[in-house]
Amino acid sequence: MNRVAGWLGWFAVCRGGLVAVVAAAGLLGSAQAQGWQPTQPVELVVPAGTGGGADQMARLIQKLVADHRLMPQPVQVSNKAGNSGVEGLLYMKAAQGDPHKLVITLSNLFTAPLAAGADVGWRDLTPVQLLAQDQFVLWVHAQAPQRNAAEMLAALRSAPPGSLKLGGTGSRQEDQLISVLLETAAATRIAYVPLKGGGDVAKALAAREVDLTVNNPIEAEALWRQGVLRPLCVFDGKPLAQRVPVAGTQSWADLPTCMSAGMPVQYLMMRGIFAAPGLTPAQRAYYDGVLDRLRALPEWQAFMARGAFSATVMKGAEFEAWLDRTERFHRVLMREARFKAPAVPVAAPAMPTASAPKK
């Protein structure tokens, strides 16, 4: 019995030691698997004003990172909207090798440098992930006489050129590009009113300081819900998928496409995350993992549904190939627009999609 007890005691000691060794190895492996982590607060730059779609998304990311402890350091949002967002892009380009700076990108990553002649582009940053593509919706005030997109098109055609005002974010970027395409469709001139951000644009329409806007859904959703604004159509090739009622019994899915009303305009906006140039593969992979976990959260998915986003996710080589195609698309669009309505309608190039073949 003593010998058996001795063997059992020896086994227990050895087993305990083995467990301790295995546990220690597991902790070491976990630490090694984690690799690089931020050691100071992470700045998330928004190259646009407050209250717009990019700003709302950035502040949700800030909150979710804190609430769910997705990183050991907090996220700090900073708006750098100068020169239609070029300020923020140049700030990121200058942060060579700084792993504690991120930027949430809009399609002004393509348009603003071309318009301003600024020496910055997506290749000057580190692409991390495409989180979604954002829609554009044609909005009027709820008391406006136009009840649908066809009536708005007729109003544009019958009004004296330049008498109707379209409010948009910045100059010579996404909103004004759509304005130019609307001018082409209606063979008229629209007075474009540049404002600081999407939140300001929606407020201007609510105050009837402008006649129409092309706000992203998330920027004007609350005012639609309150009965202040009215959406007429979506600038996409197909209706939106979200069927949850937003205003009364109406949902995003009830909006027709603008194309079906005779406006041959289709345009979606990028919502992506980039880091400063010169990051190591481990640093890029860290943020990629954080975003993967963030996108799985129910709060993020609810935000995607509320804002009628197209939840298109890309990363790595697929994302970079899409960026290359989309940059070339915007070069053509910016050249053709010239920020003047042509006398004869000109067909715009097709908007790149996630399913477009790689080149």
* pLDDT digits 0-9 by tens, 76-95: 999 999 988 999 999 999 99
Sheet holding 75-79, edge to edge: 75-79, 42-46, 101-105, 269-275, 126-134, 314-315
125 and 145 housed in the same domain: no
36 domain residue, yes or no: no
Q: What is the pLDDT at residue 168?
A: 96
Percent of the chain past pLDDT 70, that is, above it, reads 84
Amino acid 149: pLDDT: 96
Confidence band for 351, pLDDT divided at 50, 70 and 90: low
Mean pLDDT of 20-44: 62
Three-state DSSP string of 11-25: HHHHHHHHHHHHHHH
In our burial notation (b when 16+ CB lie closer than 10 A, e otherwise), range 80-93 reads bbebbbbbbbbbbb
Note the pTM of the prediction, 2 decimals. Answer: 0.80
At 60 the pLDDT is: 98
CATH number at residue 84: 3.40.190.150
Minimum mean pLDDT range among 4-8, 97-101, 180-184, 264-268: 4-8
pLDDT digits (tens, 9 = 90+) for 41-61: 999 999 998 999 999 999 999
Residue 319 lies in a domain: yes
Pick the last residue of a domain from 212, 232, 261.
Answer: 261
pLDDT at 25 over 80: no
Q: Is residue 342 part of a domain?
A: no
Assess if residue 326 is contained within a domain: yes
55 and 129 housed in the same domain: yes
- At 4, is the pLDDT very low, low, confident or very high (cuts 50, 70, 90)? very low
Domain boundaries, position 323 = 42-133+269-337
Which residue is it, tokens 């860290």?
286
Identify the pLDDT of residue 178: 95
| pLDDT score of 34 | 58
pLDDT surpasses 60 at 340:
no
pLDDT in tens, 103-153: 999 999 999 888 888 999 999 999 999 999 999 999 999 999 999 999 999
Domain identity same for 156 and 249: yes
* Token pair for 19: 């467990």
- Mean pLDDT is lowest, of 29-43, 70-84, 290-304, 316-330, for 29-43
- Dump pLDDT digits (tens) for 207-258: 999 999 999 999 999 999 999 999 999 999 999 999 999 999 999 999 999 9
Q: Does one domain contain both 154 and 243?
A: yes
Instruction: Work out whether strand 75-79 and strand 42-46 pair parallel, antiparallel, or are unpaired.
Output: parallel
Residues 40, 92: contact at Cβ < 8 Å? Answer: no
- pLDDT for 114 equals 87
Mean pLDDT, the chain, rounded, equals 87
Query: Which of 31-35, 67-71, 168-172, 341-345: highest mean pLDDT?
Result: 67-71
The β-bridge partners of 78 are: 45
Pairing of strands 212-213, 165-169: parallel
Tell me the CATH number at 213: 3.40.190.10
Residue after which a domain boundary falls, among 261, 290, 316 = 261
| Per-residue CA distances from 113 to 30, 43, 124, 219 (Å) | 42, 22, 12, 24
Q: How many domains does the chain fold into?
A: 2
Domain boundary pick from 210, 227, 261: 261
In angstroms, rounded to a whole number, what is the distance separating the alpha carbons of residues 163 and 192? 10
Pick the closest to residue 130 from 339, 315, 257, 324 (CA basis): 315
Mean local confidence (pLDDT), 276-287: 98
Domain shared by 183 and 77, yes or no: no
The pLDDT of residue 335 is 82
Same domain, 294 and 251: no
Question: Is residue 210 in some structural domain?
Answer: yes
Q: Distance between CA atoms of 206 and 55, rounded to whole angstroms?
A: 20
Nearest to 111 by CA among 53, 170, 46, 174: 174
pLDDT in tens, 160-196: 999 999 999 988 889 999 999 999 999 999 999 999 8
The answer to whether residues 203 and 282 belong to one domain is no
Examine the domain organization and report whether 253 and 146 are in the same domain: yes
252 and 318 fall within a common domain: no
Same domain, 277 and 176: no
